[in-house]
Amino acid sequence: MMRHFLRDDDLSPAEQAHVLDLAAKLKAAPFDARPLAGPQSVAMIFDKPTLRTQTSFAAGIAELGGNPMLVEGKLAGIGIRESVEDVARVLGRQVAVIVWRTFFQADLDQMAAHAGVPVVNALTDDFHPCQVIADLLTIREHKGDLSGLTVAFVGDGACNMGNSWLLGGTTAGMHVRISAPHGYVPGEEMFARAREIAVGTGGSAQAVPDPVEAVTGADVVVTDTWISMGKESEQAARVAVFAPYTLSTELMAVASPDAIALHCLPAYRGMEIAAEVLDGPQSVVWDEAENRRHAQKAVLAFLLEASHEGAS
Ligand code: NVA
């Protein structure tokens, strides 16, 4: 069966653990896995801005022996010049994997349905699963076993990162608290799915509107921009509503004394996170950014192997 990574729960708990183990191995020995040797190409398409995702995929694909092929989203005109299905059919004849950052999850699903090669979500409006795999790798490095740890996500819970943390965190057996203002909480269906996963892993998923209550005793505190890509026109309203959710030194102080702070970046100091926290001793954001490469290499290697096994 062709395997894709479109949302966090596309990996079972055992598969997620395997990917994290592989990511740690590849971090220690970056050139040990060569599943793209040839080189085979991986198409990378970005319909939204990118820094970390493009560079970490490009470097990681090269380290796996492959050729990172940047496909210019605007030139390709996916869904405009030709349908997502037709683009998928064409790309699938040229490359071993398709990595796509776009707006609608439904478009990504269409790509996966018609490509005939693994498709990886490099961020949609709904999910950012590669980021959460990198985050989990970073947390493991700093805190050991993920299972049973409490993570508090503070800020725009209704964005891709809030959803991905609910699914990816519970898959890892973590207790996930989402602290967001009214109107910016993940949908009930996301909590329902996270709780379903948590039944099997021992984790939990909770909405905790009060940020102090959410962060109290947490092992890991996560935030993200209040203005996700595509939401720029809502800036003024969002800054007002999210102001009480800034990850300040005072808020960080109620977490566990050895808690770590994560941010997928880009960060806006003085808005969702205080400079003292982002640049302070509890911040692991630069490890987190580096780990995108190691985590995504493991995802690619896993998908290629699992898809191949299924085909034989
Ligand atoms: N929620 C953010 C994540 C950026 C990596 C956005 O979608 O812009």
Q: Which amino acid is at 183?
A: G
- The tens digit of pLDDT for each residue in 251-294 reads 999 999 999 999 999 999 999 999 999 999 999 999 999 999 99
Reply yes or no on whether the pLDDT at 311 is more than 90: no
Residue whose tokens read 């479109």: 6
Quick one: tokens of 309? 């096994």
* CB of 225 closer than 6 angstroms to any ligand 1 atom: yes
* CB of 283 closer than 6 angstroms to any ligand 1 atom: no
Reply yes or no on whether the pLDDT at 100 is more than 80: yes
Q: Could you give the CA distance from residue 213 to residue 209 in angstroms, rounded to a whole number?
A: 8
What is this structure's pTM?
A: 0.98
Q: Could you give the CA distance from residue 74 to residue 156 in angstroms, rounded to a whole number?
A: 28
Q: What is the CA radius of gyration of the chain?
A: 19
Overall average pLDDT of the 232-251 stretch: 97
Mutation test of ligand 1: which of 224, 265, 273 has the most ligand atoms closer than 8 Å to its C-beta? 224
81 included as an active-site residue: no
Residue nearest to atom 2 of ligand 1 (CA): 228
* Residue 308: predicted pLDDT: 87
- The tens digit of pLDDT for each residue in 135-149 reads 999 999 999 999 999
Positive or negative, the CA dihedral 242, 245, 247, 248 is: positive
- Per annotation, catalytic residue among 107, 224, 238, 296: 224
Mutation test of ligand 1: which of 159, 163, 263 has the most ligand atoms closer than 8 Å to its C-beta? 159
> 225 alpha carbon to ligand 1 midpoint, in Å?
7
- The tens digit of pLDDT for each residue in 46-87 reads 999 999 999 999 999 999 999 999 999 889 999 999 999 999
